[in-house]
Structure 1
Amino acid sequence: MSETKPRECRLIRPDETYDGKQGFRYLAGISAETVGSSGICMHLLTIPPGGRAKAHLHESHETAIYVISGTSGTWYGDRLEHHAVVAAGDLFYIPAGVPHLPYNPGTEPCVAIIARTDPNEQESVVLRPDLEAMVPA
């Protein structure tokens, strides 16, 4: 009979950061790397005023975002032809494989909780530099 590893709840107090491929610095939260999760990751992101990500997508993984404070704009779609403004209290969903480019047009930081169905936060990130010129600077 094989021995099973005991399941354990974990408390995370985000105090470590990492630089994502997308161009933002994240507070490390729930992921395969931090707690051994197998189906989800959740991190805290602060986009500084004027901050802008690199155009990217997440292969095969959905993203859910809850904005705690501030405002973020996001260009999205195959040619980044769509635009949404997400403000404090709003939820924003990005389907798997959809290119997007978030940014902060405001004068205050935008703070958001980001959850993805990829437990390895950066593995499914695919940069799309070919789309960078599709949106205003």
Structure 2
Amino acid sequence: MTTATTGQCRRIRAESTYDGKQGFTYFEGIARESTGAQAICMHLLRIPPGGRAKAHMHENHETAIYVIEGRTIMHWGPRLENLMEAVAGDMVYIPADVPHLPINDGDTEAVAVIARTDPHEQESVVLLPELEACVPS
């Protein structure tokens, strides 16, 4: 993948995908790896019905999500003890270092735009396998 030089605008079409550590397949978007971004990463995520991420957090980086279609639930907190529903039109903020685990427990695909303050697609992802049992399958 090529990296843009400073001062160049870039356009990315969400066609290529990559498998994230979290267990989802993401559409490649804006990242240091694709555009040379210095402080932001943004990509598209489609979660199929029944799709579930692995428990994780983004070390030292904030996340903002805009739900375009569908509905998801997200368990979050030190023991994933909190629950948040997000539907089309909702914006979700996840502070840095907060454990979370999103799930599409509906019958239709959920689609979201995700942006993080980490310019890399996956470097700040920290898996938390010890929290998997906190959320029944």
Same fold (TM over 0.5): yes
In the alignment, the residues of structure 1 paired with residue 11 and residue 130 of structure 2 have an alpha-carbon distance, to the nearest angstrom, of 40
Residue in 2 aligned with 1:126? 126
The one-letter code matched in structure 2 to 1:10 is: R
Give the direction of change, closer, same or farther, for the CA distance of 1:132–1:12 in structure 2 (3 Å limit).
same
State the partner residue of 2:78.
Answer: 78
Q: How many residue pairs were aligned?
A: 133
1:121: Cα distance to partner? 1.6
Aligned to 2:63: 63
Q: Once superposed, which parts of structure 1, at least 4 consecutive aligned residues long, lie more than 4 Å away?
A: none
Amino acid at match of 1:68: I
* 2:112 equivalent to 1:95: no
RMSD: 0.8
Listed one character per residue, the Cα deviations across residues 30-49 of structure 1 (whole Å, up to 9, x for unaligned) are 00000000000000000000
Instruction: Give the CA deviation at 1:6.
Output: 5.1
Q: Quick one: percent identity of the two aligned structures?
A: 62
Consecutive unaligned residues in structure 1, runs of 5 or more = none
Q: TM-score, normalised by structure 1?
A: 0.95
State the AA in 1 paired with 2:41. C
2:97 and 2:136 mapped to 1: Cα distance? 22
CA shift, 1:136, in A, is: 2.0
TM-score by length of 2: 0.95
Does structure 1 retain, via aligned residues, the 8 Å contact 2:6–2:36?
no
Partner of residue 36, structure 1: 36
In structure 2, C-alpha distance between the alignment counterparts of 1:135 and 1:116, rounded to whole Å: 24
**What does residue 21 of structure 2 align with?**
21
2:44 is paired with a residue of what secondary structure?
strand
* Deviation of the 1:77 alpha carbon: 0.1
Unmatched 5+ stretches in structure 2: none
What residue identity is the alignment partner of 2:95? P
Q: What is the rounded CA distance, in whole Å, between the counterparts of 1:126 and 1:13 in structure 2?
A: 27
Deviation at 1:15, TM superposition (A): 1.0
How far 1:14 moved relative to its partner? 1.4
